[in-house]
Chain A
Amino acid sequence: MTQEFLLQLSLAVLLLPLLSFVVIIFFGRRLPRQGDLFGTAILGVDLLASLTILFSKLNFFNDVVPNFTFTWVDFHTLVPSATKMADFPLKLDIGIMIDNVTAVMLVVVTLISFLVHVFSTVYMHDDIRYSRYYAYLSFFSFSMLGIVLANNFWLIYVFWELVGISSYLLIGHWYEKKSAADAGKKAFIVNRVGDLGMFIGIMIVWANFHTMTFDGIFSAIAAGQIPFQSDAWMTAAGILIFCGAIGKSAQFPLHVWLPDAMEGPTPVSALIHAATMVAAGVYLVARVFPMFTADALTFIAYIGAITAFMAATIAIAQNDIKKVLAYSTVSQLGYMVMGLGVGAYTAGFFHLATHAAFKAGLFLASGSVIYAMHGALHHQNDHHTDAQDIRNMGGLKKKMPVTFWAFVMFTLAISGVPLTSGFLSKDQILAGTLAFSDLTGHTLIPILGFGAAALTAFYMFRLVILTFLGEHKDPTRLEHLHESPKPMIIPLIVLASLSFFVFYSFNPLTPADGWFYHAIERPVTVVPASLASASSEVFEEAMHHEHTTAMYLSLTVASLGILFAFLTYYWKKISADAFASALAPVHKFLLNKWYFDELYHATAVAGTIGFSRLLAWFDNTFIDGIVNGTARWTLALTLGVKKNWEVEDHAKGMVEDHAKGMVEDHAKGMEGKREAMAYLFFAALLSVYVGWAAGNAALSGAGIGIAIGKGILGLIVAGGTFFLLHAGVGGFDNKVVDGTVNLTAYLAGFFGLMLRKVQTGRIQSYILFVLIGVMVLFFLFKL
Chain B
Amino acid sequence: MHVTLTHYLIASAILFSFGLFAVMARRNAIMVLMGIELILNSANINFIAFAHYGGMHLDGQMAAIFVIILAACEAAVALAIVLNIYQQFNTVNVDEVDTLKD
Contact = CB atoms under 8 A, between A and B. Distances in A.
Interface of A: 75, 78-80, 761-764, 767-768, 771
B24 A767 contact: yes
A709 B100 CA distance: 70
B40 to A, nearest CB: 15
A409 to B, nearest CB: 49
Given A767-B24, A768-B24, A771-B20, A761 B58 contact: no
Given A767-B20, A771-B20, 12 more contacts: A75-B58, A78-B58, A78-B61, A79-B57, A79-B58, A761-B98, A761-B100, A761-B102, A763-B94, A764-B25, A767-B23, A768-B24
Most buried by A among B57, B98, B101: B57
B57 A78 contact: yes
Nearest to A73: B61
B24 A764 contact: yes
Contacts of B61: 78
A165 B58 CA distance: 30
A78 B64 CA distance: 15
B52 to A, nearest CB: 8
A157 B100 CA distance: 48
21 contacts: A75-B58, A78-B57, A78-B58, A78-B61, A79-B57, A79-B58, A80-B57, A761-B98, A761-B100, A761-B101, A761-B102, A762-B95, A763-B94, A764-B23, A764-B24, A764-B25, A767-B20, A767-B23, A767-B24, A768-B24, A771-B20
Nearest to B32: A763
Contacts of B94: 763
Contact size range, B: 10 to 19
Contacts of A767: 20, 23-24
A710 B95 CA distance: 76
Most buried by A among B24, B25, B58, B95: B24
A466 B41 CA distance: 57
Contacts of B23: 764, 767
Nearest to A81: B57
Interface string B3-39: 0000000000000000010011100000000000000
A80 B95 CA distance: 50
Interface of B: 20, 23-25, 57-58, 61, 94-95, 98, 100-102
Nearest to B102: A761
Most buried by B among A75, A80, A771: A80
A782 to B, nearest CB: 16
A757 to B, nearest CB: 13
The A interface, classified by DSSP as helix, strand, loop or mixed, is: helix
Nearest to A765: B24
A315 B94 CA distance: 52
A698 B10 CA distance: 79
Nearest to B58: A78
Contacts of A761: 98, 100-102
B41 to A, nearest CB: 18
Contacts of A79: 57-58
A583 B61 CA distance: 63
Contacts of A762: 95
Nearest to A768: B24
A331 B23 CA distance: 51
The 5 tightest CB contacts between A and B, nearest first, are A761-B101, A764-B24, A78-B58, A761-B98, A80-B57
Contacts of B58: 75, 78-79
A203 to B, nearest CB: 17
B36 to A, nearest CB: 11
Nearest to B24: A764
A157 B63 CA distance: 24
Contacts of A764: 23-25
Nearest to A756: B102
Contacts of A75: 58
A694 B51 CA distance: 71
A439 B96 CA distance: 75
A79 B59 CA distance: 9
Contacts of A80: 57
Contacts of B102: 761
Contacts of A771: 20
B65 to A, nearest CB: 13
B89 to A, nearest CB: 15
Contacts of A763: 94
A474 B61 CA distance: 67
A613 B100 CA distance: 34
Contacts of B25: 764
A130 B23 CA distance: 30
A401 B22 CA distance: 55
Contacts of B57: 78-80
A763 B95 CA distance: 8
A715 to B, nearest CB: 63
B63 to A, nearest CB: 14
Contacts of B100: 761
Contacts of B98: 761
A79 B57 CA distance: 5
Contacts of A768: 24
B26 to A, nearest CB: 9
Contacts of B24: 764, 767-768
Contacts of A78: 57-58, 61
Nearest to B27: A764
A77 to B, nearest CB: 9
Nearest to B94: A763
A78 B100 CA distance: 50
A217 to B, nearest CB: 25
A397 B29 CA distance: 55
Nearest to A761: B101
Nearest to B101: A761
Contacts of B20: 767, 771
A395 B92 CA distance: 53
A472 to B, nearest CB: 49
A473 to B, nearest CB: 47
Nearest to B51: A78
A615 to B, nearest CB: 15
B23 to A, nearest CB: 6
A764 B94 CA distance: 10
A254 to B, nearest CB: 26
B88 to A, nearest CB: 17
B5 to A, nearest CB: 16
A80 B57 CA distance: 6
A75 B58 CA distance: 9
A210 B10 CA distance: 35
A402 to B, nearest CB: 47
A607 B98 CA distance: 42
A619 to B, nearest CB: 14
A767 B25 CA distance: 11
A364 B7 CA distance: 48
Nearest to A759: B101
A607 B95 CA distance: 42
A767 B102 CA distance: 20
A767 B21 CA distance: 11
A393 to B, nearest CB: 44
Most buried by B among A78, A767, A771: A78
